[in-house]
Amino acid sequence: MPKISGLRSPYALVGRVVYFGRMLDKIRLDARGMLPADYRENLGDEKPGTFDARCCRFLGVTHADVKDRLQRGESDDEMIAWAHAVGTPRTDDDCAVWNTFMIKRGWRDDGRPNLQRRVREGGGFPGKTIETMFDFLDFDEGRDPVAALSWELRPPLVVLIMGVAGTGKTTVGQALAEASGWSFRDADDFHPPSNIKKMAAGLPLKDADRDPWLAAIRVHITATLARGESSVVTCSALKESYRRFIIGRSEGVKVVHLHGDPELIRRRIAERENHFMKPEMLDSQLADLEPPQDALMLDIAEPVATLVAKIREHFAL
């Protein structure tokens, strides 16, 4: 099944607990009529062996009460705080045991036959070794838990790849996301149509043009981290003020600055097909560029595979 927008990985933590966030997502999506029928079969706590039922029992709350609280618009943090307050008190050790149990479900236990059946029904996933139900759910929805080492439950991280046009932000970003098993968003996706029209006409953007674009990127980064997910995001982020605004108070953002010889960059822009960015606009971007002091600096003359390897090594991905 393709990735479902708004449905996070079962590995994602809310507070100290895996899977709870995914259960919340399912309830929210169902309320909007966006949860696929296959998922609705296991929604709720009526079937004792489902992950929803197990999660509710562990926390000592009912699915109906969780749904009722969510309909009031409460956040993930508010929901887990409520569950811990009114449900079964859980220590850090309790949560560690829960997480380990859920992460390994389907591996050498009575859930193995069900896992094997789901894998067969999903097409077998050639080239993938699927040992647990969590891994199956991720692979089935287009994530790669093996590349991401999802079972390590690392804090979520967003790698922001910046630089002037033509430095290969999209190419490097996509390669890094694939190698890390993360999602990827390109800066161009966040531009309003008016900006794209202006750049296609060869007109550089002014700060007023960039404001809604930067705001959209900031919202995406904040939401991604709040959901306990990791991602790669590209953005020219030329000025320090832009970067401060995009990152805000988020601690889980790392910046990579792709730079290189201006003539090489100019040639790359000229070689693009059907792209709104024009070579003559490079000079204005270089003039606006304020190189960051705290970013990983990489020369674009190196192969993409080398750049990705250096990013992963530097940030221990």
Edge to edge, what strands does the sheet with 296-299 contain? 183-185, 231-234, 158-162, 253-259, 296-299
Q: Which domain holds residue 202?
A: 158-314
- Contact call for residues 103 and 151 (beta carbons, < 8 A): yes
Looking at the structure, tell me whether residues 197 and 282 fall in a common domain.
Answer: yes
The Cβ of residue 38 has, within 10 Å, a number of other Cβ atoms equal to: 8
Same-domain check for residues 145 and 162:
no
In a domain, 5, yes or no: no
pLDDT (tens digit per residue) in 119-132: 999 888 998 989 99
pLDDT for residue 280 = 66
Residues 104 and 183 in one domain: no
Closest CA to 192 of 206, 178, 212: 212
pLDDT score recorded for residue 275: 57
The CATH number covering residue 166 comes to 3.40.50.300
At residue 278, the pLDDT reads 59
Which band of pLDDT confidence, cut at 50, 70 and 90, is reported for residue 2? Answer: low
pLDDT at 134: 97
Query: Given a cut of 80, is residue 188 above it in pLDDT?
Result: yes
Q: Based on the fold, state whether residues 118 and 244 are members of the same structural domain.
A: no
**40 within a domain of the structure (yes/no):** yes
Q: Is residue 69 part of a domain?
A: yes
User: What integer is the mean pLDDT of 296-310?
Assistant: 95
Residue 82's pLDDT is what? 97
Identify the pLDDT of residue 1.
61
Q: Tens digit of pLDDT for each residue in 156-179?
A: 999 999 999 889 999 999 999 988
- Mean per-residue pLDDT over the chain, rounded: 91
d(CA 77, CA 55): 16
**Looking at residues 273-285, what average pLDDT do you find?**
67
Per-residue pLDDT tens for 47-86? 999 999 999 999 999 999 999 999 999 999 999 999 999 9
Task: Specify the pTM.
Answer: 0.77
Q: Are residue 172 and residue 257 in the same domain, yes or no?
A: yes
Residue 175 lies in a domain: yes
Query: Does the residue 33 lie in any domain?
Result: yes
Do 238 and 124 fall within a single domain?
no
Compute the average pLDDT of residues 206-230.
89
Give the confidence band of 88 by pLDDT, cuts at 50, 70, 90.
Answer: very high
Report yes or no on 31 lying in a domain: yes
- What local confidence, expressed as pLDDT, does residue 192 receive? 83
Are residue 185 and residue 147 in the same domain, yes or no? no
Residue 279 lies in a domain: yes
Asked whether residue 274 carries a pLDDT value surpassing 70, the answer given is: no
- Which pLDDT score is estimated for 210? 84
Number of folded domains that form the chain: 2
- Does residue 258 surpass a pLDDT of 60? yes
Percentage of the residues of the chain whose pLDDT score is greater than 90? 68
- Give how far the C-alpha of residue 185 lies from the chain's centroid of Cα atoms, to the nearest Å: 9
Q: Measured between alpha carbons, how far is 216 from 77 in angstroms, rounded to an integer?
A: 23
pLDDT at 279: 60
Higher pLDDT, 249 or 29: 29
pLDDT band for position 265 (cuts 50, 70, 90): confident
CA distances to 75, 255, 265, 269, 284 from 301, in Å: 45, 19, 10, 15, 22
